[in-house]
């Protein structure tokens, strides 16, 4: 992938990810979190599935199971843990924990697939994580929510590696649509057992739901899966440190939340960390790029 194209796609994807935080916060004024996220993914998945109905579909139960497992980790696991953890910790703490994903991707890649990373890349990931912590103000604490949030980060890392491992066997749009349907179904089930489901219909709630459905789900997941399938997952995941920074900046615009000088300092650390992670390529990545798998091309 050409550097300019890669950079633009990364910025657009992480910017959209960032806006989902204030948009979700506004939406939770009108619906509980599991219901809001479940509706988001069910609507997005159903709409995208209808749009791409003529594309090549998975063949056999194994490929459908792969999509369902990805949806369990990517949509339900990440968002479920992130929002449930906020019963004990703040949304900022939950975001910090969730976006430790790049460090976990490197650890899991090294432990499970034998991928070797340079020392400077490890320093870059730690520096980027430190920038995220600095951006949110160093208010970390340990509680049940901390570990639940960490479970979301692990789920994010696992889904990243699964997409890299299995994604080449699936059409990107088909994978995006049906993993959202699977994750949305799990979130709606959680809502039934843990919340009092309700949705207040007005202009604001509809606009938020449309934004979360179209931009933060369909467009975001499609771009994210495309990037993971065509690049090194650890390298691409390092740019996730930009998402909470964009989230804070978009919160300032949409919610008029205060943004101080410390955000700039955290942003510099994040950018430096990303530069270091991407400064040198990994030494090998053969275990993740399973031979014999060819990516399906869209139907003409």
Is the Cβ–Cβ distance between 184 and 45 less than 8 Å?
yes
pLDDT of residue 111: 78
Is the Cβ–Cβ distance between 103 and 208 less than 8 Å?
no
144-162 mean pLDDT: 86
Task: Show Cβ contacts of residue 157 under 8 Å, excluding neighbours closer than 6 positions.
Answer: 101, 104, 105, 107, 108, 237
- Interatomic CA distance for residues 220 and 148, integer angstroms: 24
53-80 mean pLDDT: 90
pLDDT of residue 300: 28
- Interatomic CA distance for residues 34 and 63, integer angstroms: 27
Q: Is the pLDDT of residue 200 over 90?
A: yes
Split at pLDDT 50, 70, 90, the class of 10 is very high
Split at pLDDT 50, 70, 90, the class of 183 is very high
Q: What are phi and psi of 138, to 5 degrees?
A: 55, 45
Tokens of 35: 């219901």
143-151 mean pLDDT: 83
- Interatomic CA distance for residues 190 and 81, integer angstroms: 11
- Interatomic CA distance for residues 154 and 97, integer angstroms: 10
List, for residues 225-247, the tens digit of each pLDDT value: 888 878 877 678 778 778 777 87
Q: Is the pLDDT of residue 191 over 90?
A: yes
pLDDT of residue 257: 65
Every domain of the chain and the residues it spans: 3-277
Split at pLDDT 50, 70, 90, the class of 92 is low
Q: Is the pLDDT of residue 66 over 90?
A: yes
Q: Is the pLDDT of residue 49 over 90?
A: yes
Tokens of 262: 């410390």
- Calculate ∠ Cα 36-40-46, nearest 5°: 145
């Amino acid at each position: 992938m050409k550097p300019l194209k890669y950079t633009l796609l990364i910025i657009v994807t992480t910017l959209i990810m960032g806006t989902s935080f204030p948009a979700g916060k506004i939406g939770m004024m009108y619906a509980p979190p599991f219901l809001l996220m479940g509706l988001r993914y069910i609507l997005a998945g159903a709409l995208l599935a209808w749009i791409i109905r003529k594309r090549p579909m998975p063949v056999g139960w194994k490929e459908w199971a792969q999509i369902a497992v990805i949806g369990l980790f990517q949509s339900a696991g990440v968002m479920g843990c992130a929002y449930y953890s906020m019963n004990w910790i703040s949304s900022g703490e939950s975001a910090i924990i969730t976006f430790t994903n790049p460090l976990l991707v490197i650890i899991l890649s090294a432990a499970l697939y034998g991928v070797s990373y340079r020392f400077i890349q490890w320093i870059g990931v730690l520096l980027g994580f430190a920038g995220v912590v600095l951006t949110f103000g160093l208010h970390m604490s340990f509680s049940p929510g901390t570990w639940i949030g960490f479970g979301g980060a692990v789920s994010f890392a696992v889904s990243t590696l699964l997409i890299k491992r299995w994604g080449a066997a699936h059409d990107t749009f088909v994978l995006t649509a049906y993993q959202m349907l699977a994750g949305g179904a799990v979130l709606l089930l959680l809502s039934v057992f843990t919340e009092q489901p309700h949705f207040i219909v007005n202009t604001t709630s509809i606009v938020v739901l449309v934004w979360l459905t179209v931009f933060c789900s369909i467009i975001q997941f499609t771009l994210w899966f495309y990037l993971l399938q065509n690049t090194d997952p650890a390298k691409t995941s390092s740019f996730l440190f930009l998402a909470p920074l964009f989230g804070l900046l978009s919160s300032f615009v949409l919610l008029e939340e205060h943004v101080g000088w410390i955000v700039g300092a955290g942003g510099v650390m994040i950018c430096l960390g990303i530069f270091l992670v991407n400064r040198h390529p990994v030494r090998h990545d053969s275990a993740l790029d399973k031979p014999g798998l060819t990516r399906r091309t869209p139907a003409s």
